[in-house]
Amino acid sequence: MQLNISQTAQAEIDLPVPHHFARGCPRSVRMDIDNLMLAIEAIDLQAIEAMLALVPQLKLEAVIPNRVSFWRLRNANPLRRNYQRSNLGWEELRALVKLVCTMSQQFNTILRLLVTTHQQVAENKIEALGLQQSQFYLDLYVERFSSLYLSRMRSPSPLSKADIKELGLQLLTQLLFASGTAGELRLWHSLFDGATA
């Protein structure tokens, strides 16, 4: 996948650390950013390679020098099977936010389709609007997300299958939110909303 990086995406955006989290990145934030990347993988199974290709384009090599370091950052999620029992540094979190937002911008069209389809399914409008193909794509995403989640997270999962499905659907909205104007800043603040030190 060839990604086009706009001048806006390359510009430095100030992502300030909330003062009450000065001691380190909260557990919930580490879980949330990894879940967002998992949702991106569920949309496109080649997304990991695309994210790694973005690292030099976004000038993130100092934080993510190679594939192993990227894997270690993902495993800062305490629910991961291979949890590294390490914190996530602020520059590392900023790098992951940049990757998530850049990928979300590239997937904006499909994200809109999936989020809209989810709303139409909830309102029982799929049949009336003849959007069964869109529902197929949504079902495929949910199936992939659930499969990836269960294969990557520790067992037994603290979430039920219904909970995992709901998480996957919520993440679509969050990714769409991150794909818009000032997406990095909006995602950054949303990660800390409700988090505890």
Contacts of 151 (CB under 8 A, 6+ apart): none
Give residue 9's pLDDT band: very low, low, confident or very high (50, 70, 90). Answer: very low
pLDDT surpasses 60 at 183: yes
CB 70 within 8 A of CB 61: no
Q: Select the more confidently predicted residue: 152 or 131.
A: 152
Structure token digits, residue 16 = 């300030």
Question: Cβ atoms within 10 A of the Cβ of 151, count?
Answer: 9
**pLDDT number for residue 11:** 46
Percent of the chain with pLDDT over 90: 69
**pLDDT, mean of residues 167-194:** 93
180: alpha, beta or left, given left = phi > 0 and alpha = psi -120 to 50? beta
**pLDDT number for residue 122:** 87
Q: Is 31 helix (H, G, I), strand (E, B) or coil?
A: helix
pLDDT surpasses 50 at 82: yes
**pTM for the model:** 0.89
Give residue 166's pLDDT band: very low, low, confident or very high (50, 70, 90). Answer: very high
